[in-house]
Amino acid sequence: MKLFAVFMLAFCLQAGAFGYGQKVTLTAKNASLKSVLTELKKQTGYLFFYNDAWLTKAKLVSIQAKDLPLTAVLEQCFSDQPFNYAIVEKTIVISEKPEQPKQEEVADSTITITGTVLSATTGQPLNGATVTSKNGGNSTTTNADGHFKIQVTEGDQLLISFVGHENFSVAIGKNHQLSISLQEKPNELNATVVVGYRTVKKGDLTGAITAIGTKDFNVGVVTSPTELMQGRLAGVSTMANGGEPGAGIAVRVRGSNSVRSGQDPLYVVDGVPLDITDLQPEGGSVGGVGGSARKNPLNFLNPDDIESIAILKDASAAAIYGSRGSNGVIMITTKKGKKGKGQLAYSGYVGFSELPKQLPMLSAEEFRTFRKANGATTGDMGANTNWQDEIFRTAVSQNHSLSFGGGSDNTSYRASLSYMNQEGIIRKTGLDKVTARVNVAHAAFNNKLKLEANLTTARTNDQRVPIGETGGYEGDVLLSALKVNPTFPVYNTDGSFYQYSKDVRNPVAMIELTNDKTQTDRILGNISATLNLFKGFSYKVNVGVSNSKATRKVTQNKQLIYLTNYGTANVNDVTMNSSLIENFITYDFNAGKSSKLNVLAGHSYQKFNNYVHTLSVDGFTVEGIDYLNELSFGNYTRAIVSSDISENALQSFFGRVNYDLADKYLFTATLRADGSTKFGENNKYGFFPSASFAWKLSKEKFMENFTALSDLKMRLSWGITGNQEIPNKISQVLLGTTGGAILDGSASNVVAGITLNRTPNPDIRWEKTEQLNLGLDFSFLRNRFTGSIDVFNKKTTDVLLQVYSIAPAPTTSVWTNVDNMSIVNKGLEMVLNGTLINNRNFTWDAGVNFTTIRNEVKNLPMSRITTGSPSGPGITGYSSQVIMSGEPIGTFWGRKFLGFDASGNSIFEKDKDGKELEQVLGNAMPKFNYGFNTSLRYKQLDLALFFNGVYGNKVYNNTGNILDQRTLIMKEWNATKDAITLPENLNGTLTYSSRFIEPGSFFRLGSASLGYRFNTAGISWMKSLKAYVSANNLFVITKYKGYDPEVNADHASNGVPSIGIDWTTYPKARTITAGVNVEF
């Protein structure tokens, strides 16, 4: 029905434009010119561009016309008027005729300029281009031959504009005969999109692919490419894991497809697929240091180096990547050198970040008052400490990026160097990053051979503090700052840290006496060669490498009294290496507009090696030493040393056929065969086909009269993709040792025995995702407005789970593909972008995207799978989420809270037998996501705003579940202001229930930017200069009571994803930046 409504809307728009080609019948006597133009617009649908002030000079019009061509009527209307007119497509441009100056005035003060205005693309003259004198205000238009003549003063400047072309200005010098070429404005349909092993014009796409470029990217303090696109794309959910510098972002393309396999999309950078395994090594296990928060795997890329990002969403687009395509594919293309003289560019900014709001905890005075009123006589240490003030700060960020690029007919090059330092709003947290990148391309032997090389290197240093973010009730700086007694001081009188007990920890001491640093080094490079064998045939080889090493060093000073074994030192490192070699042949056949054919066939081999080493030592009692450099001072007899290695390989054969018939009917077929060492011996290979069709309706003859509609294309696609991101080695046997075994019946002769810890399963195979997509792309008013609508149905089968073994069996569970189970995602995506106003001095663009997805688990082989374990007194041992048949992933489960009884005890909903019911309490997945952006430009000033939000999801406020307890206060811990207003039993214990399942919907002003582009026409060594100020996270409207409704989005309990749970998430900052962009 919705697609039918869109077709009807398009039909109605065209019906209104049907009279464009009709003749004109008009009778007027002494009528104003404006009224005549209004009538012509009604009859013909032509648009008129003019200045209202000019029409005050117009003469009255008398005309009688019956079935005359429009041009004949216009000749009569303007025959005695002080105006010129020009017809440009469906627009009539009106300009003033230049006044003939008196001879004596012309002699010394004016110059006659003549010239021709041409199209830079076709070289043809432009009829009706407007030529305006900047100082004198004179204006004229070009004739059919593109010629113009205009009177200007010395030192004046001419401004030339034409519909669909970039404006151009030229200073008047000694040359009074000009030849001016106007560049066409980029047509979105002609823009090329990277689709995997080739680029395609956007107008020729048959699959669901969304792409954005530099002008659409998010602004402000941005550390990775995923932040550039956050909230900008329909069908792509990007939820930050928190506000820590460099924090991970959970990207979900068209919903969640799996329970135990990976859900992240495949990232491809300049043709090299990346292993997105988390590179953040674990730290110590004491004091919240362990369970490190996941970092963004793309932090090594400089956002300023990114040219475009394309997301392959449906199966027809992603199937070319086969077993890694079910979660979508994100194609990242970096900037390349352009033909021309070498150009130096600099961009930089300085930013200031702060906590948008504090949680409403009791002040010291409120804390004292409540305790005294309820009979407490101890626990007041006399201080007035706001612990949130003690751990949060105003953070400073800076970023500097320098690039140099250029090229000739055969060679292009670009090199860049960047430095970024971002402080976190929690003390001693931050990110420091240096990146360098080089790209070189060269064509030889008359373009028979094309060579290209890309190299990216980066070093990132992360500094963290003990923030568990997975519970960690006593060991978390954030939670400690919220619950510690506000009458406790930060320091003792001797300057040492005040530490009350092992369970009530001083968060400032935790920060200052813990050092947690991670250094990550990354190299990504590839070299490719393309050889044009003969007409239409080309061969390409692409060799790529990716090497990464992250080393995390953590020390905890012995002064921390909660350390049971004195000071600790941990050194953990993760090394990840991958290599890639791809060979493919492409055949292109072009028979003009009648047909075009592209055939691709290739082979790919990629190998992955991961190494993990861990060293942990405790028992340090000596002051004044660096534990990491003096490990012998610890109790090395208790040292824990471990290591792990995993090796995997992926071999692939792939092919694709694209056929274009008459530039109206487009066909694509893809097949990929992947063989992976991750799967069982009996199912090493999987096959992933797809097919798609697109019909350019606007090219059909029956659409010729619908001239307001510039483009209309329908797309239909089907395909199957796979998911190989499964736990390592699960198809293989895992052996362990027993506690002991008696071999001869004598207890004195006991040796360790061997036991089976994991049952092998050689039949483990790929999870498969089948997807059907129907789409509609459209644009109207000469591509002034563009949009798309997609509906899709994704179904994942052969779901991989760890299920109970059937007795007798050597282990209680076994990994297997569940035959009848499926995970279904059905959705609708809508995008609309347009230029609302576009003239010489003012432009207003706007865009909106909308996505709704319904997720459902079907035929789960057990009643439910639990996940999302709450943390805190009285709530441990529960599970807040379940995966169960008939419900979406991320479903909250538990008792429904109804209020308090007369004694202050919690009341929960019960069944007819009086038993407390456990039931569905909501879902962490939004009912829909949306984004809205708008940009305005007035002369050299521009303003850009971006809003985004979600609706209909729930968030479990685990932090609130801990802090909203009156009983905490009587135990000398702090609580929220809400806690003392509730009629709750003072001695009650808070448990997990729907009470803290809160609305997660929000509407956020994600970014705002105000910039000014300076006129550098008189500076020979500077091409452009822009200064700007921007702000991120200016406000958020939400009913959620925590710091921010975007909470830990990418955690798991026992390997099962748990989303939408606020385990003291690092808050998102509000940031103000000021910066400049300069081109030399």
CB-CB contact of 221 with 422 (8 Å)? yes
Residues of the chain above pLDDT 90, percent: 43
Is residue 116 very low, low, confident or very high in pLDDT (cuts 50, 70, 90)? confident
Mean pLDDT over residues 770-774, rounded?
96
Query: What are the helix and strand counts (H, E) for the chain?
Result: 12, 59
Domains of the chain, by residue range, sit at 20-97, 100-185, 272-726+764-1079
Mean pLDDT over residues 3-7, rounded?
37
Angle between helices 33-44 and 70-78 (to 10 degrees): 170
Res 104: pLDDT: 46
pLDDT at residue 279 greater than cutoff 80: no
Is residue 227 very low, low, confident or very high in pLDDT (cuts 50, 70, 90)? confident
Mean pLDDT over residues 1031-1051, rounded?
88
Scanning 331-461, the segments in alpha helix (DSSP H) are: 364-373, 387-391
* 277-281, 788-792, 982-986: which is most confident: 788-792
Query: Which residue type is seen at 118?
Result: L
Judge whether 20-97 and 100-185 match in fold. no
Mean pLDDT over residues 375-401, rounded?
93
CATH class of the domain whose range is 272-726+764-1079: mainly beta
Rounded Cα–Cα distance for residues 235 and 237 (Å): 7
Lowest average pLDDT, out of 66-70, 95-99, 396-400, 810-814, goes to 95-99
Is residue 122 very low, low, confident or very high in pLDDT (cuts 50, 70, 90)? low
CB-CB contact of 109 with 138 (8 Å)? no
| β-bridge mates for residue 461, sequence order | 432, 519
Res 739: pLDDT: 63
Segment 403-420, tens digit of pLDDT? 999 988 899 999 999 999
Segment 299-319, tens digit of pLDDT? 889 989 989 899 999 999 999
Res 975: pLDDT: 92
Query: Residue 363 burial (CB < 10 Å; 0-12/13-18/19+)?
Result: middle
Residues of the chain above pLDDT 70, percent: 91
User: 1054-1076 burial, b for 16+ CB within 10 Å, e for fewer?
Assistant: eebbbbbbbbbbbbbbbbbbebe
Segment 612-636, tens digit of pLDDT? 998 999 999 988 888 988 888 999 8
Interior angle at CA 972, CA 970 and CA 973, nearest 5: 100
Rounded Cα–Cα distance for residues 729 and 679 (Å): 8
User: 117-133 burial, b for 16+ CB within 10 Å, e for fewer?
Assistant: bbbeeeeebbbbbbbbb
Mean pLDDT over residues 890-915, rounded?
92
pLDDT at residue 475 greater than cutoff 80: no
CATH number, domain 100-185: 2.60.40.1120
pLDDT at residue 64 greater than cutoff 90: no
Rounded Cα–Cα distance for residues 916 and 895 (Å): 7
Is residue 9 very low, low, confident or very high in pLDDT (cuts 50, 70, 90)? very low
Rounded Cα–Cα distance for residues 181 and 118 (Å): 5
Res 1052: pLDDT: 72
Segment 627-682, tens digit of pLDDT? 988 888 999 888 889 888 889 999 999 999 999 998 899 999 999 999 999 888 88
Asked, as a colleague might, if the bond just before 808 is cis with ω within 30 of 0, I would say yes
Lowest average pLDDT, out of 42-51, 643-652, 690-699, 1005-1014, goes to 42-51
State the average pLDDT for the chain. 85
Mean pLDDT over residues 256-268, rounded?
87
Q: Where are the beta strands (DSSP E) in 591-684?
A: 595-620, 640-661, 665-676
Segment 714-738, tens digit of pLDDT? 999 999 999 888 877 788 877 777 7
Res 548: pLDDT: 92
pLDDT at residue 286 greater than cutoff 50: no
CB-CB contact of 589 with 597 (8 Å)? yes
Residues 6+ apart with CB under 8 A from 698: 706, 709, 710, 711, 712, 713
**Token reading at 698:** 């606007």
Is residue 17 very low, low, confident or very high in pLDDT (cuts 50, 70, 90)? very low
Is residue 752 very low, low, confident or very high in pLDDT (cuts 50, 70, 90)? low
**Token reading at 5:** 């409504």
Mean pLDDT over residues 556-566, rounded?
90
**Token reading at 908:** 């929960």
Q: Pick the more confident residue, 378 or 873.
A: 378
CATH class of the domain whose range is 20-97: alpha beta
pLDDT at residue 875 greater than cutoff 90: no
Is residue 780 very low, low, confident or very high in pLDDT (cuts 50, 70, 90)? confident
Lowest average pLDDT, out of 2-16, 370-384, 689-703, 759-773, goes to 2-16
pLDDT at residue 291 greater than cutoff 60: no
CB-CB contact of 1031 with 1072 (8 Å)? yes
Report which of 773, 775, 787 is spatially closest to residue 826, judged by C-alpha positions.
773
Segment 918-938, tens digit of pLDDT? 999 999 999 999 999 999 999
* 1-15, 37-51, 176-190: which is most confident: 37-51
| β-bridge mates for residue 158, sequence order | 133, 170
Report which of 775, 931, 908 is spatially closest to residue 851, judged by C-alpha positions.
931
Mean pLDDT over residues 122-127, rounded?
76
Is residue 500 very low, low, confident or very high in pLDDT (cuts 50, 70, 90)? confident
Query: Which residue type is seen at 268?
Result: V
* 99-108, 129-138, 420-429, 739-748: which is most confident: 420-429
Res 15: pLDDT: 34
CB-CB contact of 910 with 918 (8 Å)? no
